[in-house]
Structure 1
Amino acid sequence: MSGPAPVLTYVYAVAPPAPVVRRLLPGLTGVGGRPVTLLHAPGDDPGPVAFVISDVPRPEWDEEALRARFEDLRWLEEAARSHHRVIEALAAHTTVLPLRMATLYEDHAGALNALRAQAQDFATLLARLSGHTEYGVKLYVRPAPPPDAGAAPADTSPGRAYLQARRTQRSSHEEHYRQAALATERVVAVARRFTADRVRHPAQSGPLVAASAEENVLNDAYLVPDAHAEEFRSALAGATHGLPGIRLEVTGPWAPYSFAAPAPPPPEP
């Protein structure tokens, strides 16, 4: 007679073991349609933090299987969406610390050991992030217009007309970047008035950005107190007025993905 199928422990987030979390979990499904439960220290005192988990089939989630599955874009998108849905459902009602997709432990005991080892750091972060939400702020530069060959005088030689058009395009391109630098200064100055923290992410690149014909020059995440969220969005809306060639994009509210990592330990003396 065979025993139960082997599983791994998949962790979505750190959350307080509060009644609101316990009420939400029975209605959630995680990666692969698996039930979502709460894992915390046993006994009457579960402590200040818990892991939000699913038990997932080991053959589908072990290291070898993940190497192959991460090449499957359809599977990867669905898994990422499932991971994100669990976190966002919780974040709508309580403070959570989102963990990276495919955070896995051998079993509940291994996950509990990790939870105990970082419990104080997790609790400190949850307290710091309580009443705050993440917003994304991006700036894009539109491409300079192509050279206008018809703008040169009729008696200008083709070579001179081409060089003049190229100089005009280069000047327009440089002006767009000056506008982008000014927009960045304005956005950062405005955001600083309403936010508790900022994380600078690398500017986005790749096929999707290239297809839009715009260049991403700012890709920030801001931790915004919920009491100032509307002021933050309203103030940012006017930060790029009068700057042609610039597009501002504000996204959120999000769970605090960019601020969920514990602070690094102090350096050794």
Structure 2
Amino acid sequence: MTGLRYVYAVCRPLGAPLQAQLTGVAGAPAKLLNHHGLVAVVSEVPERDFSEEALRARLEDLDWLAATARAHQGVIDALTVVTTPLPLRLATVFRDDSGVRAMIESREEHFRAALDRLAGRVEWGVKVYLESGPEESGARQPAPKAASGRDYLRQRRQQTRAHEDQWQRAETFATRLHERLSAFAEDSRLHAPQNPTLSGAAGRNVLNAAYLVPRAHSEEFVELVDRTKDDAPGLRVELTGPWAAYSFAGDTAGETSGGTAGESGAGETAGETAGERA
């Protein structure tokens, strides 16, 4: 290798080979760098695009960022099929192999503990959307023309109460669903609701959560989520996964983010950038 080293994840030695011809960021093949009984999954990327200065400009290019995130996620998905990867931050780049090895040594204890904790487990995402929010309801069912100012105010109060009741029912459903899924899963994380402008998802996001589930119990988890959908009129329940356990990797993404030359971090997590794993 003569270019910079882009690091996707750290994992244990693989029990099965990677997919043949697996390519990652910049179309480069993914390779394995073994060190101290751990494996960094890396590929070579051009300095012109991934130097510290170039990355600052590239990360403002949303098309480039999305394409890079998809390629990054593709490698993580392939790893998840054959092992338990510990994903690193998008655009974690080092000058050479020695920089990657130094990163492994500096975080070796944390890597081993996290890999032990996450072994055989995957992440499932569950989102709940209120499909008929205030704006949508008003657009579909325009209020009759008020005969007077008093009638107009009465109609507005009725609409407000209806919207508040609708939102309260949605929050109650989401809370109960999260409690039920959390009781089944080994761990869970509540994320901030998605911004519909950024996500492109229809409706108002009421629940955005991740659940850590043993791979062997994934089918039961999926069935549990499916059974709840009939109990949610006016709501949309979305299930995504299984993913590598991004939400449960602790501080791995933040503290292992490398950078060219100075090993400084850049970018968001690949899972968040790639459509928040939707």
Shorter-normalised TM-score: what interval? 0.7 to 0.9
Structure index of larger Rg: 1
Whether 1:191 and 2:181 are equivalent positions in the alignment is yes
Residue 255 of structure 1 is aligned with which of 244, 252, 257?
A: 244
Q: Please tell me the root mean square deviation across aligned C-alpha atoms, in Å.
A: 2.4
8 Å Cα contact 2:174-2:207 kept in structure 1: yes
2:13 touches 2:39 (CA, 8 Å); kept in 1? yes
**Aligned equivalent of 1:39, options 33, 43, 62:** 33
Alignment equivalent of 1:164, drawn from 132, 138, 154: 154
Residue 174 (1) aligns with residue 170 (2): no
Match of 1:99 among 80, 85, 88: 88
Partner Cα distance (2:211, 2:195) in 1 = 21
Instruction: Tell me what 1:139 maps to.
Output: 128
Q: Distance in 2 between matches of 1:70 and 1:102?
A: 9
The question of whether the paired residues in 2 share the 8 Å contact of 1:25 and 1:37 is answered with no
CA distance in 1, matches of 2:22, 2:94: 21
Structure 2 residue 212 is matched with structure 1 residue 223: yes
Q: What CA distance in whole angstroms lies between the structure 1 residues aligned with 2:201 and 2:98?
A: 47
CA drift at 1:206: 4.5
Percent identical pairs in the alignment equals 42
Describe the SS at the equivalent of 2:213: strand
Question: 8 Å contact 1:194–1:228 — kept in the other structure?
Answer: no
CA distance in 2, matches of 1:225, 1:18: 19
Q: Deviations over 1:159-208 (max 9, x none)?
A: 23322221121111111121122112211221123201111111111414
Q: Distance in 2 between matches of 1:210 and 1:91?
A: 27
Is the 2:129–2:204 Cα contact (8 Å) retained in structure 1? yes
1:239 equivalent to 2:220? Answer no
Give TM-score scaled by structure 1 length: 0.84
Separation in structure 1 between the aligned mates of residue 173 and residue 214 of structure 2, nearest angstrom: 23
Distance in 2 (alpha carbons) for counterparts of 1:220 and 1:102: 25
Aligned length: 249
Counterparts of 2:105 and 2:87, CA distance in 1: 17
Q: Does 1:17 align with 2:13?
A: yes
CA deviations over 1:232-259 (Å, ceiling 9, x no partner): 2222223354443322111111111111
Aligned counterpart in structure 2 of residue 84 of structure 1, from 69, 73, 92: 73
Secondary structure in structure 1 of the residue aligned to 2:23: coil
Q: Distance in 2 between matches of 1:61 and 1:124?
A: 30
Q: Deviations over 1:12-64 (max 9, x none)?
A: 001112241xx2165211111112111122xxxx41x2110012121221111
Separation in structure 1 between the aligned mates of residue 242 and residue 142 of structure 2, nearest angstrom: 43
Q: Is the 8 A contact 2:8 2:89 kept in 1?
A: yes
SS of structure 1 residue aligned to 2:250: coil
Normalised to the residue count of structure 2, the TM-score between the two structures is 0.81
Q: Distance in 2 between matches of 1:110 and 1:173?
A: 55
Change (3 A) 1:38 1:209: closer
Query: Which protein has greater RCO, CA pairs closer than 8 Å, 6+ apart?
Result: 2
| Structure 1: 5+ residue stretches without partners | 265-269
Corresponding residue for 2:267? none
- After the TM superposition, which residues 45-124 of structure 1 pair with which residues of structure 2 at under 5 Å, given as runs? 46-47=36-37, 49-124=38-113
Partner Cα separation in structure 2 for residue 148 and residue 32 of structure 1 = 51
Aligned to 2:116, the other structure's residue is in SS state: helix
Give the distance between the partners of 1:132 and 1:226, measured in 2 at CA.
5
Name the residue aligned to 1:267.
Answer: none
Whole-angstrom CA distance in 1 between matches of 2:143 and 2:113? 62
